[in-house]
Amino acid sequence: EWRPRRGAGRDREPGGYADPAGHPDLRAAVARYVAYARSVRTGADDVVVTNGAQQALDLVARVLLAPGDVVAVEEPGYPPAREAFAAHGARVVGVPVDGEGLVVSRLPRAARLVYVTPSHQFPLGVAMSPRRRLDLLAWAGAHDAAVVEDDYDSEYRFADRPLEPLHALDAGGRVVYVGTFSKTLLPGLRLGFAVVPPSLRSAVRAARRLADGHGPVATEAALARFMDEGLLARHIRRTAKVYARRRSALLAGLAGELAPYVETVPSAAGLHVCALLRSGDRAVADAVAARARAAGVAVETLAAYRAEPGGPAGLVLGYGAIEADEVPVGLTALAAAFRAVRPG
Ligand SMILES: Cc1ncc(COP(=O)(O)O)c(C=O)c1O
């Protein structure tokens, strides 16, 4: 269904240089989409189309950070975000995450920027509680800090009602809301977006122009049309059913065959779950993940997402790229890996 149609957009000169902020039709489509799907009230002028969420993080770093500035990130967290901020000379400080999300009381006072994944914390999977969301915004206001809300996979929700994004709760214009089409469509498409406060609009647009001019106009036009025709929404509805089946199979196996070894971290969204080892033994997690990978099961350890050693022992299991009927096979291999590492 997804087929970039060259020249199919409404641009008069699809081959010429274009707006650094992205194709106007796509910016308008994204503004409507986030309003409808996520209650992010915005207009096309606040949307900057980016080369994936990653470029949105890079542009924010270019615009807001000076070398030595402190950036707070979740620990464990998303390594490419950490790396993007560090690449701009920031001092990146990990802040612990508990069952309510980022522990706001542990934020370093000097942080200029706080990067969070409130819908589905990466990689633990917890949602930031409503109280924490308000605490974080209050903290940012009191400390004159900006907040990057990476809403990378909230399209896929399997339980509960979605919580209001930070962007919708933010009265101070401090939140940059970042989204991506990597999960809903294809990572290789390299299309994402940032919804930026008016105060940052022209700086982010200028940063994009300096970075790489602008994105792929024909692809952006095609995506705009795909969205306008309701095909993205339909695609998400269809794929959500597929992912729900995979997820149920995964959760059933984790609560069944794997229950002696792990406890699943509760989560309601996304395309991965995190399971903590009951033994708390990180060396076992490493050994089990290595064995499972050797048996063809793609699992990652929680430690792979930490900047500092320590923390609970865990495994991160994705279901974006496995068929539902293959899930039990993978989990049986994982259970075998646990038995082999810890016989009996
Ligand atoms: C936390 C987080 N943010 C963003 C992304 C997507 O990044 P991009 O849009 O650059 O592909 C991912 C993909 O795994 C992710 O886990």
Q: What is the pLDDT along the chain (344 residues), one digit of tens a residue?
A: 556 555 444 555 567 889 999 999 999 999 999 999 999 999 999 999 999 999 999 999 999 999 999 999 999 999 999 999 999 999 999 999 999 999 999 999 999 999 999 999 999 999 999 999 999 999 999 999 999 999 999 899 998 788 999 999 999 999 999 999 999 999 999 999 999 999 999 999 999 999 999 999 999 999 999 999 999 999 999 999 999 999 999 999 999 999 999 999 999 999 999 999 999 999 999 999 999 999 999 999 999 999 999 999 999 999 999 999 999 999 999 999 999 997 54
The total number of structural domains that make up the chain? 2
Instruction: Give me the pLDDT at residue 16, please.
Output: 84
Residues 31 and 138 in one domain: yes
CATH code for the domain in which residue 311 is found? 3.90.1150.10
Q: How far is the CA of 50 from the centre of ligand 1 (A)?
A: 12
Residues 97 and 46 in one domain: yes
Asked whether residue 15 is domain-assigned, the answer is no
Residues 168 and 186 in one domain: yes
Atom of ligand 1 nearest to the CA of 180: 9
Pairing of strands 272-277, 192-195: unpaired
**Best CA proximity match to 76, nearest among 339, 270, 315, 341:** 315
CATH code for the domain in which residue 205 is found? 3.40.640.10
Asked whether residue 307 is domain-assigned, the answer is yes
Q: How far apart are CA 270 and CA 95, in angstroms?
A: 22
Domain that holds residue 332: 233-341
Contact 192, 181 (CB under 8 A): yes
Residues 177 and 257 in one domain: no
Asked whether residue 135 is domain-assigned, the answer is yes
Residues 224 and 240 in one domain: no
Contact 34, 190 (CB under 8 A): no
Residues 88 and 33 in one domain: yes
Residues 248 and 222 in one domain: no
HSE of 75, CA atoms in CB hemisphere, 13 A = 16
**Best CA proximity match to 136, nearest among 126, 124, 125, 148:** 148
Q: How far is the CA of 182 from the centre of ligand 1 (A)?
A: 7
Pick the last residue of a domain from 229, 256, 273: 229
Residues 219 and 259 in one domain: no
The residues lining ligand 1, judged by C-beta closer than 6 Å to any ligand atom, are: 52-54, 78, 117, 122, 150, 152, 180, 182, 187, 192
Atom of ligand 1 nearest to the CA of 117: 1
Asked whether residue 145 is domain-assigned, the answer is yes
Strand partners, 150: 178
Pick the last residue of a domain from 176, 204, 229: 229
Asked whether residue 16 is domain-assigned, the answer is no
Q: Which of 82, 150, 151, 319 has the most ligand 1 atoms within 8 A of CB, as the residue to mutate?
A: 150
Q: How far is the CA of 199 from the centre of ligand 1 (A)?
A: 25
Strand partners, 175: 147
Residues 103 and 217 in one domain: yes
Q: How far is the CA of 270 from the centre of ligand 1 (A)?
A: 11
Instruction: Give me the pLDDT at residue 343, please.
Output: 58
Residues 95 and 143 in one domain: yes
Residues 263 and 215 in one domain: no
Pairing of strands 101-102, 314-318: unpaired
